[in-house]
Structure 1
Amino acid sequence: MQLIIAEKPIAAKRIADLLGENKQVDKNKVPCYELSDSIVVPLKGHVLNVDFPKEYNNWQNTELEKLIDAELVYEPTHNAIVKTVSDYAKKADSLVIATDYDREGESIGNEAVNIAKNVNNSIQVKRAKFSALTKQEIDDAFSKLSEFDHNLADSADARREIDLIWGAALSRYISITSGRLGKNFLSVGRVQTPTLAMCNEREKEIKNFKPEPYSEVILGCEKNSKPFTAIYKEEKLFDKQKAQELMKLKADTAIVKEIKEATITNHAPTPFNTTEFLRAASNIGILPSRALSIAESLYMQGYMSYPRTDNTHYPESLDLTGILDKIATIKQFQYLVEKIKKENPKLVATKGKKKATDHPPIHPVEAAKQEKLDPADWKIYELVVRRFLSTFAKDAETKTTKVTLDYANEEFIARGKETAKLGWREFYPYSKIEEVKLPGLEKGDVIKASGLEKTEKETKPKPRYTPANLIKIMDDEGLGTKCLSEDAKIIILGANGEELRGIGDVFNFSQDILVDSGLELALNAGVRCKSKKGDKIEPADFAFISRRPLQDSEQMLRVVFSDGTCLSSTKDHPFCIYDGGNILYKELSQLGQGSKVVSSIKMPLISTEKIALEIGDIKLEDKVYVSGCISNRVKDLREKQKLSQHAFAAMHGMDQSSVSNLENGYGKMNVVTAKRLGIDFSEVTDLNGRFVLKDIFPMYYDSRLVRILAQLKGDGSLDEEKLRKENCYDVRYHNTDLNLLNQFVQDVCDLFGINLKIINLGRKHPHHKTRYYIKVPALLGRLLYKITDKGILNEIPPSLYVYYIGGMFDDEGWAGISESKLFISNTDHGLLRDLQIMLATLGIKSSIDLKQHKLHVRSRKDLMRFLRQVPFIKVAKKQRLSTVLNEKYNYSKNKSVNMVLKQVLSFISLKGEATAREIADELKISRVTSIKKINELLSEGLISKKVYGNNKDVQRVIKYACNENNGNIYSLIGETIITPDLATKTINYIEEIGYDGPVFDLTVSPLNPNFVAANGVVVHNSTRAGIIQKLMERGYIEGKQNYTVSNVGSSLTDTLQEYAGELSLPKFTAELEQEMDKIEQGQKTKDEVVQESRQMLRHILKHLKENEEKIREKMRGAKFEDNVLGVCPKCASNLIMIRTRRGTRFVGCTGYQEKGCDVSFPLPAKGFITNLHKDCPDCSLPVISVRYAGRRPFNMCINHKCVSKADWGKNKKTETEKEQNKDGSGSKTPAKKATKKAPARKALAKKTTAKKATKRPTSKKSPTPKKQAAVPNE
C-alpha cells in the first residue's frame, strides 16, 4: 500500500479526486481518502511543535543563559493525526510526501517521515513535486516521483529552531525589563526588528522635517474655448519677492514659445512573483496577509498555481494555450483572450528578473465562476487572471507634451499627458495614468490669458510607508541580481584620499566566503566608498562585495552618457533618476536616451602636510589652557627640581599662588607655560573650560579648514570692541543660505569635534530672506584668526586655493544669466588682489574694479575654467553659471560652443582615439571647426595628440586621445544642478554588449543603499526580508494605508540600535538565509548552524544585560506614554489605560488619589488597543482603535455612553463595517458593547500615582503568563 501525505485536509481531498475514484474514511476522526492501492492522509500544517521543555515556561524564574542552551523538543500538536499516520505507516510499503514543494512544505513532510519511520523503518520515502492542484500537474508529479530532500527540510527546521531561541530569549528579556508581560509582551525577531528599524527611521525623518514655504504661480489660459493652466517655470518658487513681482504682471495674451513632445513606452508587466502579487493586492485594498491567505485557498481549490514563488519566467512546459482556453470560458475575459491570440499568436510573454525551477510564476490554472467565490476571493482571482493576460499584451505608450508660454516676458509651462496606445492597460486596468489634455497648440500661437493665481504651499517630508511600498522595500533589502560588470570603476576612499578602483579589484582585495554554488560574498577589508545619503554625498562603509557569474537569462547593457563616460551593468540594475522634482530609483531597462541619472559633483577632501598653526604660535595673552588636571605633574616636576613653590614660581615666571592652586587641582595652566615646563598635553580649553579641543596641534591645512577661513573672511564677523576691551574673540558666521551654514557646522565638527548651533534671527522685513548665524567658541575663533593673521596668499598651499576662492564666491560672489560674467565683492582690496593671483595660478584671467570693490571673471574660457575647477556650494550660482555657458556662447542656433566642445570630448572618450575628420563627420561640423575645437582642448590640457607614421609617409595619421580623468570635465554643461553634491547626467544611448565575465555589487547601509561609480553616477544595491502583520499585531506600527511607529515601537528600535545594533541590520537576516542555503546544499549541518546562532545570541544578550538599567528606564517611559489616552474632562489630569490583576482593562484618571476624580470608562476585554491621538466629534473624548487577531481594526470612542454607539446594540452594521466588508475581508462585528460597571478603584490606586504625564507611575509587575515559552518571530 502507498501512503500519501497531504499538507491540509482540503489538499488531501483535491489530490485524491485528481488521482481517481476514492472513498472517504474517517480514522481517529481524521478524514482520509482510500484509492485502489493507496490512502491519502491529511496533516494540518505542522503536526509537531518545536518548543522548550516545560521547566522553562516561567519567564521570570528562568535564566536566559540556560534558555539559550536548552535542548529543544518536538511535541505532537494533533495527536489524532500522528496516530493515523502511524497506523497506516505500519501497513504501507511506500510513503509519498505531497506537501507544498518549498522549505516549509519539506519540513512538514519530514514530520510525517519521522512518524512513519518510527513504526516502520523499512518504508520507502518518495516526493511528489507540483505547482498547481490540477489533473495534469498531479498526474505528472506521481508518474515522476523524486527523492525526498532531507537537507531542504533541515534548512527549514534550523530556521524554526533559531527563530524560537532568538525570539524567546530576546522577547523575554525586553518584556521583563520593560515590565510588559502577559498579553502585552514585547516581541523581537530576526526579520521584524530590521523592518521596524526602517519604519522608525522614516518616522524620525518625518518628525524632524522642517517644511519650507513656497509659492505656485498659475496662469489661466484658453484656446478655442478650451481652458488649461500653465505654471511658472520655477514650479516651487521659494523667493516670495519674485512671486509677488509675478503677480503684478498684466497681459491679455500669451505666446507659445516652444513645444516639446515625447512618447514614453510603458512595457507590459512581468509575471507575478509573491512580492509583486502582494503589492498589487495591497493596491486594490486587500492587506498582504489576507491576500496570501486567499491565494492559498484558491490554490487548494485548484483555481491558481502555488502562490509562494520568486520565479518570473513561465517555463516552457507550461501549457499557455490550454490556460487561455480555460480563461476564455469566462465571459468577461473572452474578448481579451481572443485579442491576445490575434496579436500575439506565438504567445511570447514578458519575463522578469528571476528564473527558478521550483515553481512557475503565479497564474490561473482553471476557470472560476464569480458567483461561487466570495467577493474578496474573486478580486484576487481576477487580479491574477488579468496580470497573466497582460504579460502577453503589447506595450502601452504615453504621449507627453511640454509647452513653454511667454506671458509678459516670463516663461510658464503647461504639461499634457495622454494615452497614445492603451496596450496592456486594457487587460490590466489597475495601473492607470492621470491624463491631462491640452488643446491643439502650435509654436507662435497667441492664446488668451485669464490672469495669474498664487497658491501658498509648504514642502512635505517623504511619505510614510504603505503596505505596498514597504513590501517592495523589504524585498529590495536583500542581495539581488542587480550587478555591475568587472571593469566598472567605483570611487574608493583610500589612505591618500579618493581613488578610482575596479570593482573586481576591490573584490580580489577582500576576504572570500562561499555562499552558494553561484554567488560569492567577500567581506570588506576596511575599504570605504562614497554613498548618497538624502541629498548629500558622504563616506560610507560597505559590509560585503559580491561576485557571481552572469546568468544566461541576464542581459548586460552599456550606458553611454552625454559627456562620453560609460557604465556597464545588468539591465535590472537600479539607478538614481531625477525627474525634475524628485530623485527616484528606476531600473536600467526603464531608461533611454535623454533620461537624467543622478551623479555626484562633490569635490574630494584634500589634505596637506603644511602646518597652519602649531603650539609655538600660541602666546600667553591668547588664553589657551591645558585641559584636565595636571596637579600631580606640576608637583612631581617641582619636587624633582627640589624647589619650594616660591622658588619654582620665580624660576618659571609664575607666582606662588598659581603653583599652589595647580598642585591642589585648582586653576588652569597656559599652554605656553606647560610647553616651557615640558608638560605634555593633548587637549586644550579656554579659561572657563567650556570647550575642549583635542589633538589639534599641529593644525594642518586641508580643504575644510581653508573653506572655514574663507567663510569667516566673507560673512564672518569679529567684535573688535570686545576684543580690544576684554581680549575676547566674539566670532560669528552670518548667512541666509542653510546649505552654507550646515557645511560650516559640518566642517567645524569634522576638524575640531565641536557641534555648533545655527540660530534663527528671523527676517528684518517680510520680503527679506530669513537670517541665521553661528556663534563660534571664543577659543576656536582666537585660533582661526591667528591663522588668518599670518596671511592667506603666502600661507595656504596652492593646491587649496580653489577652496578659498570657492568659499569667498559662495559668500561674496554673484553669477548672472543676463550677463556672461561672475564677480566677487569685498571692500578689502588686498584680499581681491590675493584672489586675482590665486585665479591666475588656475589659468583664469580676472580684473578688479576698485570703485565697485569687485573682482570680475568674464570670458567664456575663464568662466568654464572657474566652473570646472572651483568647488562652491550654492546651487543657484552653479546652475546660473552652467546655464550661461550652455546658452550664451552660441555656435549655432540650437547649440552652444561649450556643448560642441563637450561632444568632441565625448566622442574622443568613447572612441579612445579619433582624427579631426572623424570628429567632424560624427558631429556634422566642418573640419575647420573640428580642428579649432581640438586646438582649444589641447591648450586646456584635456586631450593629447598622437602621430602615427612620419612626414614622408603618405599614410601619416594624427589622432587625439583624452588625458586621464578629463573626459567628463564638461559634464555640467546642459545639466541640472540638484543639490550642492548632486547634478544630472544625461544618457546619450544604451546598447547591448557581449559580456560573459563575472558581475559584482556592493552591499551598503540599508538606509542609504547607494554607491558612486567613477563617472559620478549614483547606483543602487539591495536584501530581502518580509513581515508587516507581526509589527501591527504587536502594536509597533499603526495605520491602514500609511504606517506610523508607536512610542513602544520607536523606543524598542532605538534601544536595540543603541545596545544591540546588529539586530536592526537586514544583513543578519540575509546571513541566516545564506546559512540555510548551506544546509540545503549539504555544506553545513542543521546542528552546526543552530549552535553558531546560540553563540552569537549569548554575546548580544551579555551586552544588553550590561546596560539593563538604561534599557529599563527607556522602555518603561515609553510604556507609560503609550498608555496615556488624553485629558480628563473633569479634572484635566491624564486619562490612562489600566489593567487589573484579573486581566480586565479600563480607562482611569491619574487625579484619583490627589483630586479624588472618579472618571472611568470600560474597555473591550480582548483585542489590541491603539491610541489614535484624536477626539470623538460627538463627545470630545479620546478615540481608540481595537484590533482582534486576523481581523481589521475598528475605531471607537472610549465613552460607553457616546451617541456614536447608539446603534451598536442592534443587529445593524455600522458604516465602518460596511466599508470593511466591501471586499469581504473585514471583520463582521465590532467588539461587544462594554459594560457600564467600572473596575474597582483600588486597582487604579495601585496602578497609578498623581504624577503628571511626564513622570512614570509606579506599578506592580504583571502576572507571568502561564504558557509563553515559545515566541518564534519571523
Structure 2
Amino acid sequence: MRRILYVAEKNDVAKGVANILSAGAMQRREGRSKFNKIYQLQGQFQGQPALIAVTSVSGHLMGNDFSPEMKRWESNPIESCFDAQILSTVPENMEPIARTLREESNKVDTLVIWTDCDREGENIGAEIVKVCKEGNRHIDVWRAKFSEVTSAAIHRALQSLGRLDQRIVDAVDCRSELDLRIGAAFTRLQTLHLQRRSRLFAAGDKQVVSYGSCQFPTLGFVVERYKEIESFIAEPFWKLVVEVTREALKVEFAWDRVRLFDHDMVDTLYDECRDEGRGIIEEVTKKPKSRWRPCALDTVELEKLGVRKLKMSAKEVMTIAEKLYSNGWISYPRTETNKFPKDFGLNNLVALHNGDQQWGAFATEIGQRGANPRNGNKSDEAHPPIHPLKHATQANLQHQEWRVYELVVRHFLACCSWDAKGQETKVTLRVGEERFVATGLQIEDMGYMEVYPYDKWSDKQLPRFTQGEEISDFLLRIADGETSPPLLLNEADLIALMDKHGIGTDATHAEHIEKIKERKYVGVQPDGRFLPGFLGLALVDAYDEMGYAMSKPLLRSDLEKQLEAICRGQRTKQDVLAEQLAKYRAIFVQSETNQHLLSVHLNREGNTRMTWLLVTGGGGEGPRGGGTGRGRGRGGSVVAQIPNHAAPAVGATTRGRGRGRGRGANAVAGGGGGDGGRGRGRGRSRGGAAGAAGGGGAYPPRAAPITNDQKPCSCGIGSSLRTVQKDGPNKGRQFWTCSKQMADPGKCNFFEWAA
C-alpha cells in the first residue's frame, strides 16, 4: 500500500479534506504542534490503495532575514542592506510544524501540496517541499488545485494533479527579498536619523519609523486627499429653483444650468423669470428605467462592501471570510474573478437556499426563471467569484460570521437574478428662456432588491402634467450654497485606490492599511475616515522635497507589473531583482545625503503640534491625542483645530477642546490646552467675517504685529491681499488670505473677499 502525505495551509482545510476523502471516518493523532493535527485515512491515490496522512502548516513556514551581524543597526553601514546575505530559515515558533513534516515525510513516498491556489499559497508550498525534503530527499511532489472545500472540488483536484509553478514561487521570493532589503534600508535611515536629530524623540526612544514600498503609497493616498481638503477654498454659488404644488404634492424643478458663480447674473435671470409670470410644460416623457443587479463578487468588492455596508474593517471581513471558506461555507475568498463560467452549475447552488426562511422564496423564483448572472470582465484564471457552497442558518455561525455569510449569499442570489425595473417620468418646464426639470419614478419590479437590502431605490411620485399646459401658480426662488471639498478617505475608498494603482494584492490590502494605523502614520475618525498624523505628513513632505515621489504609487505599481512578468515567464527573478535594487539604491543614496529634511519637517510639525482640518456641512470630529476638534457648518465650511495625536514636547500636556461654527463664509474656530494648560475656545462667523477664539494655551504660535492696512488671519498674523487669476466669474477680484507660504503646515484657511 502506498503512503502519501497531504499538507494544507491551515488546520481547518486539512481537516475538511480528510473528512471528505474518508467520508468522516478518519482518525486524528497529534503532531509536534498542538495547533496542527494529523488526520489518518485509507483511500485511493492515482488508482492505487493508499494510506494517507493529512496535516497542515499555519501560513508561511519559513522567513527571510539578514545574518545575525546585520541585526546591529549602528555597527553596519545602512547601504549594506542592499547586498548583505539573506538567510531563509524556519522561525522558532514554526519549528514544531517543521519537525512534524520532516518526520511524516520520512514515512511516505509522495507529497501532495494542498495550499491556497494563489501566489502566496504556491510559495508556501515550495517552503513545505524544502522542509519535507530534509526528511526525505527522494519524495515525489504533486500540487492539488482547488477553490473550495467541497467533495466535488477535492475529488476534481485529485484527478488533475500538477506540479508547483516555479515561476510563481520566484515572483514571491523576488518580492520578499525586495521588501526586506528596501524596507530595512529606509527604515533604518529614517529611524536612526530621527532618533538623533528630532527633539520629538526622547532620549533612548526606540520607536521605529518604518518604510514599506506598499505601506508608503497607502499613506500617500491619505495625505493627498487631506491636502486637497486643506488647500480647498470654497466658492459661493447661486441657482434658481421652481416649486409647484399640485394634487397635494410639492414638486421641485431643478435648473438645467445647475448653478452659477455670479450672483448678479442669477439675480438678472431671476427677474426675467419673475417678470414672465408664467411657465409652459414643454415636454413630458416616460421611459423604462433599470437598476442593475450587482456583478459577481470578487475580493476587492467584498472588502468594500464589508466596510460600507457591514461597518467592519477590511481585515476583519477577510479573516471571517477565510474561516467560512476553511469550514466549507463559501468558496475561496481571495479572487480577482468577477464572472462565472457558463457551465458552473449555478442553478444547483441557488437551489441550496430554496428552504431558507429569509430568502428561500426568492431563490425558488430564480430557479424557475433560470440563474442569469450579471458578469464582470475580470478573471484570474484560477478561482471563481466568491459564492456560498452550502446553506447555513444563524444557529450555525457566530454573529459576525453570519453577517459576512449573509452578505455573500444575498450578493450571489442578487447577481443570479434580474434587474429592478420601473418607469421614469421627466417633466420639462420653461419659464421665459430658462428651463427646469423634475423627475419621478414608479417602480414596477423590485427585482434583485427583494433580496439585496444594501441598495435602495424608492418611488418618487409626480402629479400629472400635460405637455403644452400653462402654469402660473409656481414659486420661484434663489437658492445659494458653496462648493465643498472632497471627503477624507475611508477604508473602502483606500482599497479602491490601492486596487486601481496596483498597490499590493487583494490578499494584502487590509494588511497595509493596518500597518499605517499601527505606526501612527494615520488616525481614524469616529466616522471611519482616515486623517494623517504629523509623522505621516512629515515623511511624505520630506521625500517630496527631496524630489522622490515615494508616497506615489508609481514605484510599487511598476514592481507589481514586473512580478506578473515573472509569473508569465517573460522576465527572470534575477533580472527584476537587479533592476529594482539599482533603482531604490540610487534613491537611497540621495535620501541619505538629504536626510536632514526628515527632521526639519518632523520638527516643524512638532512645533506646531496642530493640524488645520477642513470639515464641511454637519460637522465632524477628529480624535488626535488628548483633544478633540469639532466643526459645524451651515451654507459654508468650518475649519476646526485638532491637536495632533503625536507626543508633544517633553513636559507639555495637551488637553483641550475646540469648537467652530460657520455660516455663509469660512469660519475658523479653535481651542485646546497649550503647554501645561487646559482651555476651551469658541468662534463664530457670519456674513463673510472670520472669527477665531481659543483659550488656555499656546496654540497656534504667538502672532507677529499686524499693520493698519492688513486684516488679521486666523493665525493672528497679517494676511495678504491677492487677486484671482483663474478664469471664471471671480477673475480679477481681490481677496485676503493667510500670508504664510503654501508649503507651511501652519498655514491657515483664512479667506475673505476684499471690499
- Whether the 8 Å CA contact 2:148–2:330 is kept in 1: the answer is yes
In structure 2, the residue matched to 1:392 is 416
In structure 1, the residue matched to 2:667 is none
In structure 1, the residue matched to 2:127 is 111
Compared CA separation, residues 1172 and 1070, structure 1 to 2 (3 A): farther
Offset of residue 456 of structure 1 = 2.6
In structure 2, the residue matched to 1:24 is 28
In structure 2, the residue matched to 1:360 is 384
In structure 1, the residue matched to 2:594 is 1107
Distance 1:435 1:408 in 2: 31
- Whether the 8 Å CA contact 1:1025–1:1069 is kept in 2: the answer is no
- Whether the 8 Å CA contact 2:330–2:390 is kept in 1: the answer is yes
In structure 2, the residue matched to 1:91 is 107
In structure 2, the residue matched to 1:239 is 262
Higher relative contact order (Cα pairs below 8 Å, separated by 6+ residues): 1
Distance 2:275 2:569 in 1: 79
Compared CA separation, residues 407 and 229, structure 1 to 2 (3 A): same
In structure 1, the residue matched to 2:483 is 459
Offset of residue 215 of structure 1 = 2.3
- Whether the 8 Å CA contact 2:372–2:418 is kept in 1: the answer is no
- Whether the 8 Å CA contact 1:130–1:137 is kept in 2: the answer is yes
- Whether the 8 Å CA contact 1:46–1:111 is kept in 2: the answer is yes
In structure 2, the residue matched to 1:330 is 356
In structure 1, the residue matched to 2:299 is 274
Distance 1:13 1:326 in 2: 23
Deviations 1:967-988 (A, max 9, x none): xxxxxxxxxxxxxxxxxxxxxx
Compared CA separation, residues 1082 and 120, structure 1 to 2 (3 A): farther
Q: In the alignment, residue 586 of structure 2 is paired with which amino acid? A: H
Offset of residue 11 of structure 1 = 1.7
Distance 2:115 2:87 in 1: 23
Compared CA separation, residues 1174 and 142, structure 1 to 2 (3 A): farther
Deviations 1:687-715 (A, max 9, x none): xxxxxxxxxxxxxxxxxxxxxxxxxxxxx
- Whether the 8 Å CA contact 2:643–2:672 is kept in 1: the answer is no
Compared CA separation, residues 328 and 1127, structure 1 to 2 (3 A): closer
Compared CA separation, residues 1120 and 72, structure 1 to 2 (3 A): farther
Offset of residue 302 of structure 1 = 0.6
In structure 1, the residue matched to 2:242 is 219
In structure 2, the residue matched to 1:1097 is 584
Distance 2:517 2:439 in 1: 41
Distance 2:255 2:627 in 1: 50
Compared CA separation, residues 1173 and 1087, structure 1 to 2 (3 A): farther
In structure 1, the residue matched to 2:80 is 66
Q: In the alignment, residue 314 of structure 2 is paired with which amino acid? A: P
Compared CA separation, residues 247 and 1062, structure 1 to 2 (3 A): closer
Q: 2:553 aligns with which of 1066, 1071, 1078?
A: 1066
SS at match of 1:383: helix
Deviations 1:721-748 (A, max 9, x none): xxxxxxxxxxxxxxxxxxxxxxxxxxxx
In structure 1, the residue matched to 2:323 is 297
Q: In the alignment, residue 25 of structure 1 is paired with which amino acid? A: R
Deviations 1:1003-1027 (A, max 9, x none): xxxxxxxxxxxxxxxxxxxxx9884
In structure 2, the residue matched to 1:230 is 253
Distance 2:111 2:677 in 1: 60
In structure 2, the residue matched to 1:1076 is 563
Q: 1:133 aligns with which of 143, 149, 163?
A: 149
Compared CA separation, residues 436 and 253, structure 1 to 2 (3 A): farther
Q: In the alignment, residue 297 of structure 1 is paired with which amino acid? A: K
- Whether the 8 Å CA contact 1:329–1:367 is kept in 2: the answer is no
Deviations 1:801-833 (A, max 9, x none): xxxxxxxxxxxxxxxxxxxxxxxxxxxxxxxxx
- Whether the 8 Å CA contact 1:1048–1:1122 is kept in 2: the answer is no
SS at match of 1:372: coil
Compared CA separation, residues 399 and 193, structure 1 to 2 (3 A): farther
SS at match of 2:106: helix
Q: 1:11 aligns with which of 13, 35, 40?
A: 13
In structure 2, the residue matched to 1:1030 is 515
TM-score of the aligned structures, taking structure 1 as reference length: 0.45
Which piece of structure 1 moves more, 432-441 or 251-260? 251-260
Distance 1:58 1:23 in 2: 48
Query: Does residue 288 in structure 1 map to residue 294 in structure 2?
Result: no
- Whether the 8 Å CA contact 1:404–1:413 is kept in 2: the answer is yes
Distance 2:659 2:89 in 1: 47
Deviations 1:922-969 (A, max 9, x none): xxxxxxxxxxxxxxxxxxxxxxxxxxxxxxxxxxxxxxxxxxxxxxxx
SS at match of 1:91: coil
Q: In the alignment, residue 16 of structure 2 is paired with which amino acid? A: R
Deviations 1:425-446 (A, max 9, x none): 3333322235432112111334
Distance 1:329 1:341 in 2: 12
Distance 1:413 1:1114 in 2: 52
In structure 1, the residue matched to 2:684 is none
Deviations 1:630-677 (A, max 9, x none): xxxxxxxxxxxxxxxxxxxxxxxxxxxxxxxxxxxxxxxxxxxxxxxx
Q: In the alignment, residue 339 of structure 2 is paired with which amino acid? A: H
Query: Does residue 376 in structure 1 map to residue 376 in structure 2?
Result: no
Distance 1:1136 1:236 in 2: 38
Query: Does residue 307 in structure 1 map to residue 333 in structure 2?
Result: yes
Distance 1:1172 1:33 in 2: 60
Q: In the alignment, residue 1070 of structure 1 is paired with which amino acid? A: S
Query: Does residue 53 in structure 1 map to residue 67 in structure 2?
Result: yes
Deviations 1:1102-1149 (A, max 9, x none): 1101212233212332345458979999xxxx998787xxxxxx9975
- Whether the 8 Å CA contact 1:477–1:1025 is kept in 2: the answer is no
Distance 2:347 2:256 in 1: 52
Over aligned residues, Cα RMSD in angstroms?
Answer: 3.5
In structure 2, the residue matched to 1:1050 is 537
SS at match of 1:146: coil
Distance 1:439 1:1025 in 2: 49
Compared CA separation, residues 388 and 450, structure 1 to 2 (3 A): same
Distance 2:575 2:145 in 1: 29
Distance 1:204 1:1135 in 2: 17
In structure 2, the residue matched to 1:441 is 465
Q: In the alignment, residue 1054 of structure 1 is paired with which amino acid? A: D
Offset of residue 245 of structure 1 = 5.3
Distance 1:1099 1:9 in 2: 44
Matches within 5 A, 1:1223-1238: none
SS at match of 1:27: coil
SS at match of 2:352: helix
- Whether the 8 Å CA contact 2:221–2:494 is kept in 1: the answer is no
Offset of residue 1173 of structure 1 = 7.2
SS at match of 1:413: strand
Q: In the alignment, residue 217 of structure 1 is paired with which amino acid? A: L
- Whether the 8 Å CA contact 1:1138–1:1148 is kept in 2: the answer is no
Distance 2:517 2:41 in 1: 45
In structure 1, the residue matched to 2:162 is 146
Matches within 5 A, 1:150-549: 150-179=166-195, 184-244=207-267, 249=274, 254-284=279-309, 285-316=311-342, 318-343=344-369, 345=370, 347-397=371-421, 399-407=423-431, 411-433=435-457, 435-447=459-471, 449=473, 451-478=475-502
Offset of residue 304 of structure 1 = 0.6
TM-score of the aligned structures, taking structure 2 as reference length: 0.74
Compared CA separation, residues 175 and 394, structure 1 to 2 (3 A): same
Offset of residue 371 of structure 1 = 2.3
Deviations 1:191-212 (A, max 9, x none): 2323333333332222222211
Distance 2:55 2:396 in 1: 27
Deviations 1:763-814 (A, max 9, x none): xxxxxxxxxxxxxxxxxxxxxxxxxxxxxxxxxxxxxxxxxxxxxxxxxxxx
